[in-house]
Amino acid sequence: MVEKLEVEGQEKSKTGYKISDIFKFLGCSLFGCFMFLYPWDTTGGTYNTALSVLTEALDALIRQNIPWLLTVVVIFSAVSALVGCFWKIQKSGRFSWIFPLMFVSKPYALTRLIALAVTICVVFEVGPEAVRSEDVGGSMVSLAQTLIAIAVTLSFVLPFLTDCGIMEFMGILLRPLIRPLFKVPGRASVDLIASWLASSNTAVLITGNQHQNGYYSKREAASIMTNFSLVSIPFCMVIAETLNVTNHFLLLYGSVTAIGLLLAMIGVRIPPLANIPDEYCGEKNINEEVPEASSLLGWAWLAAMKRAQKFGFMNALDAAGKMTIGIIMDLIPIVIAWGTLGSLLVNETSIMQWISYPMGAYMSFLGIEGAFDIAPATLVGFIDMFIPALITSPDLPVQTRFLVAGLSLVQIIYLTEVGSIIVKSNVGLDIKRLFVIFLERTIIALPLLAFISKSL
């Protein structure tokens, strides 16, 4: 019996694929879906994904046992960038993949030096109080420490979701729905579910990885990153609690979901997203077209088998290690530097009051109570999506607080996390274009949220 099973395990099925390929698709994909998508009841009614639980545990472990790790990372990234500005070396060989992370352009070298200065101020409690305060540099350094844990867990679990066939399977099945509505491949539905149940930065990192591997064009990746990366349900609850609108949470999340999908349908059809070329990073590796002689389900199965056949654990580990180092070296300094500078702009200057005046006038026209009081909150979300909730007065009417909560959740693009990842993903979006998309989403969403809030 054992010999028979061994022979069968080596034989190919009628489709030309081994039993081991079927196991890799079903088993490994199931593990990936469980880690990224399964809502797990962690503490009596609080739901989180297994990946988030693992990330939180690793984050606590790092903070407790190696709190100096972040400082070492930031120092190394800053020194390597500084050296790279003056010393050119032969960027070839076995470790050539790491050189673009170490030797960056002068603007990014400056970013890393600023991140180093902020980290030193916070860790050693020196320098201006405004920089190292808990609301400015302190929060950015804490966020960067969490990103280390995210980088490790995400990178090593991600291949089970993206490389074992489930993306191809879902992509072909959902293409008839997703492609006409959002002009992106059907596999983008997995990114959307990941952001709903895990986190928006997780979904953006998944999309960036898929673009690098030839599964999304620049335009498709940019569209998915800026439209499908909705914030997770747990974070929506945090925003609702901060603004004291938890008793309207179902209406809030339902509104955010509906408006988010509408914004996606509109956003992909107007500039700047519509003007990004359909260029692939290297060879195009996606084909969701179903031949006339095949059924939708049958072709989805064959595509999944073909992808699973290419999956290898050692290759996945190698790619995961490189991705971890890439996130740590490249993203963390940007989060610290840009996040701190943006927070200083909000907390230490009145410039947001001035530049947000047109938004106040727009909301006043829409009949929103306290329009000019919350005007800065409509723009500071570009820096960090939690800031609008923090600077909104609890004395404002519930309708106004509901609107601020909903707006901060549908704007999606914020530089401290998602925006930084997008800029570094080489999908044709810089800070200027990101801000234009941010404004488009804000202007379109405001009247919709104003209408919904009047029902409270």
> Does residue 25 lie in a domain region?
no
The pLDDT of residue 52 is 82
Q: pLDDT tens, 258-275?
A: 999 999 999 999 999 999
Angle at 173 between CA 51 and CA 268, to 5 degrees: 80
pLDDT category of residue 204 using cuts at 50, 70 and 90? confident
pLDDT at 90 over 80: no
Q: What one-character-per-residue DSSP string does 303-352 give? A: HHHHHHHT--HHHHHHHHHHHHHHIIIIIHHHHHHHHHHHHHHHHH-SHH
141 in helix, strand or coil?
Answer: helix
Do the beta carbons of residue 214 and residue 284 sit within 8 Å? yes
CB 208 within 8 A of CB 421: yes
Q: Give the integer Cα–Cα distance in Å for 302 and 13.
A: 11
Side chain identity at residue 182, one-letter code: F
Sign of torsion over alpha carbons 203, 209, 211, 214: negative
Q: Which neighbouring-strand residues pair with 40?
A: 48
Q: Is residue 22 part of a domain?
A: no
Distance CA 178, CA 63 (A): 41
Predicted local distance difference test score (pLDDT) of residue 4: 38
Q: How many domains does the chain have?
A: 1
Query: For 172-200, what is each residue's pLDDT tens digit?
Result: 898 888 889 999 988 887 777 776 655 67
What is the per-residue pLDDT across 338-350, written as a single tens digit (0 to 9) for each? 888 888 888 788 8
Identify the band that residue 3 occupies on the pLDDT scale cut at 50, 70 and 90. Answer: very low
Instruction: Give me the domain span that covers residue 150.
Output: 33-453
pLDDT tens-digit map of 68-80 = 999 999 999 999 8
- To the nearest 5 percent, what fractions of the chain are helix, strand and coil? 70, 0, 30
Cα–Cα distance for residue pair 428/44, rounded to 1 Å: 43
Using CA atoms, how far apart are residues 286 and 215, in angstroms rounded to an integer? 5
Does the pLDDT value for residue 16 go beyond 70?
A: no
Q: What integer is the mean pLDDT of 366-390?
A: 91
pLDDT of residue 12 exceeding 50 = no
Angle at which helix 249-267 crosses helix 233-242, to 10 degrees, equals 120
Contact at 8 Å (CB) between 36 and 53? no
Mean pLDDT of 415-439: 90
Q: Is the dihedral of CA 147, 152, 155, 160 positive or negative?
A: negative
Is position 106 within any domain?
yes
pLDDT value of residue 39: 72
244-283: b or e for each residue (b if 16 or more CB lie within 10 Å)? ebeebbebbbebbeebbbebbeebbeeebbeebeeebbee
Q: What is the pLDDT of residue 98?
A: 74
- Between 5 and 256, name the one with better pLDDT: 256
DSSP state of 396: S
The answer, yes or no, to whether residue 279 has pLDDT greater than 80, is yes
Residue 246 is given by DSSP the state: G
Point out which residues pair with 41 in neighbouring strands: 47
Residue 18 located in a structural domain: no
Cis peptide leading into 291, omega within 30 of 0? no
Q: What is the pLDDT of residue 2?
A: 34
Per-residue pLDDT band at 220 (split at 50, 70, 90): very high
Summarised one tens digit per residue, pLDDT across range 143-165 is 889 889 988 998 898 889 888 98
Residue 309 resides in a domain = yes
Average pLDDT of the chain is 86
Q: Which residue has the higher pLDDT, 32 or 238?
A: 32
Q: What pLDDT score does 42 carry?
A: 66
pLDDT > 60? residue 448: yes
pLDDT of residue 408: 94
Domain membership of residue 55 (yes or no) is: yes
Does residue 10 belong to any structural domain of this protein?
no
Tell me what the mean pLDDT of segment 94-117 comes to: 81
